[in-house]
Chain A
Amino acid sequence: MLKDITLGQFFPGDSPLHKLDPRTKLILTTVYIILVFVARGAPGFAVILLFTLAMIAASKIPAKIILRGLRPLVFIITFTAIINLFWTKGENLLFRLGFIEIYSEGVLYAVLMVLRVVLLLLGSSVLLTYTTSPIALTDGLEQLLSPLKKLRVPVHEFAMMMTIALRFIPTLIEETDKIMNAQKARGVDFSSGGIIRRAKALIPILIPLFVSAFRRADELAIAMECRCYRGGEGRTRMKVLKLSYRDLVASVIFVFFTAAVIAANVFIPWLSV
């Protein structure tokens, strides 16, 4: 049962978005996030919404999967909507029931804020997490941050830690499964009792898991040393990230997108928030 967990949200495919260099995607995602916060008027949001829908179409990821990604946010979305709806004071009173007052500004605020949260998640997941494998993401981050090496930031070491963590997650999940079964066979009950009782039942799983993780770490370190590992210095990579015409095209599209959002903000700031 635990084996079904997939790593991250990566959805394999070969759409134009999948083929972009991870570095390009990291930078463009940052730009996208900034734009979502910069947009103020309804036209601006409309531009971003259209652009995001176009990206989703280009990524060829089924809409069902994308909508599933929104599920964990239902609470935050509802909360944002309610707060904005009831607590925004304005001029046009729409509705009053006792101390509850709803203004038209409140409705606008609620809609745009919810849109902002949804767009933030949709855009960044379609541009980055759904279309980039965790390894490509790690490689991209390492390369992008490599100038920080001059400031003695251990960029390579962090990337290596990420890779090893990704490598060992399935192994440790499998091990947890085994330990749980072993403890169940000895009569430990994981599924009944209150929170405290259940938390206590986890101790006999966590301790063996930790012990084994430390042993694995030790063995892995020796194996890495035997394979001549000595940090990032003097190390080459088999796969070198290369920018292609795709990255240029994507960047140009993003320049126009940015211009469109800013123009909408400046020239048609209708219904601004």
Chain B
Amino acid sequence: MSGTPFIKAENLCFSYSIAEDGGLRRELPVIKNVSFEIGRGDFVAILGHNGSGKSTLAKLLNLILTPTSGKIYIDGRDITDPAITEDDIFEIRRKIGMVFQNPDNQLVATVVEEDVAFGPENLGIPPEEIRRRVNEALAIVGMSAYARHSPHQLSGGQKQRVAIAGIIAMLPECIVFDESTSMLDPSGRKEVMNTIVSLNRDRGITVLHITHNMDEAVLADRVIVINDGEIFLDGTPREVFSHVGELQSVGLDVPQVTELLYELSVDGIKMPDGSPLPRGVLSEEEGAEILRALL
């Protein structure tokens, strides 16, 4: 839908208040005057180093934290309105699911299928419908065979997929992944990334993927780089990763192949026809193609 954006933030600010010696409180701004729009069905990666405010931003979107000032509209509805009711918050949290970093600390029940049922149970859905949703959600993340297992028998990647199933079963329109891959080993990371990508491509779920892994950010349609509570760069992965120097200046890496071609072009190497090396090369195949042309 091209009408109203699904998520719209206007001049969003958030600060933590910190107690200091002598009982005084000091405001520590974490999000500074941030505005952005995210459309329905988008796959957006939010990049930033530790302490840049990216996780805080995510928690503002479903009112786990309340913004200090500024507005957030979800689906055209102002959620920062002081008159918002408990039921509205409930509905927003159903629409925007969140998957967190530590898979262990978000599973509630002792059996996988019971855990997936937790969200729908909270929504007050009839038992047969919950059963149907749980089976479907487990099938989507490929965990049907583990429905009767206990979470502590699963690997990190599997637990995280169960956590995702628990969110899917609530039929959200958007899922925020708050560094959901950062505690996983490479194979678990791959499992979870594949699941995230297919949720977006096949089911049209809006995805906000918060990460500091560049190779994951490349999979998104759009990358927003947050630095020190402000939007630093915003664009397609190709655009964003062509700013190698700027990214490195705020403590972020770029994918290896992008960095290699960037360094070569800084050293004055040009394409055989004299044109500059392309910037923001993201795939290894494309990089190999260019290197072959150079040799």
Contact = CB atoms under 8 A, between A and B. Distances in A.
Contact of A219 (B100, B119, B130, B167): B100
B151 interface: yes
B126 to A, nearest CB: 6
B62 A226 contact: yes
A134 interface: yes
B110 A229 contact: no
A171 interface: yes
Contact of A225 (B64, B109, B123): B64
Contacts of A228: 90, 93-94, 119, 122-123, 170
B100 A224 contact: no
- Chain B interface secondary structure, helix, strand, loop or mixed? helix
B114 A135 contact: yes
Nearest to A165: B110
Given A135-B114, A226-B93, A226-B98, A216 B124 contact: no
B212 to A, nearest CB: 19
Contacts of B118: 224, 227, 229
Interface residues of B, number: 41
B229 interface: no
B107 interface: yes
Interface in A223-260: 223-230, 234-240
Contacts of B106: 219-220, 223
Contacts of B97: 226-227
Given A219-B100, A225-B93, A167 B109 contact: yes
Contact of A163 (B86, B104, B109, B170): B109
Interface in B82-122: 86, 90, 93-94, 97-98, 100, 102, 104-111, 113-114, 117-122
B125 A135 contact: no
B110 A167 contact: yes
B149 interface: no
Query: For this complex, into which size category does the number of interface residues on chain A fall?
Result: 20 to 34
B131 interface: yes
Nearest to B86: A230
B119 to A, nearest CB: 4
Nearest to B94: A228
A49 interface: no
Contacts of A157: none
Given A222-B59, A227-B119, 7 more contacts: A135-B110, A163-B108, A216-B104, A225-B64, A228-B119, A230-B86, A238-B120
14 contacts: A167-B107, A170-B150, A226-B64, A227-B167, A228-B90, A228-B93, A228-B94, A235-B124, A236-B124, A236-B127, A236-B130, A238-B121, A238-B127, A239-B114
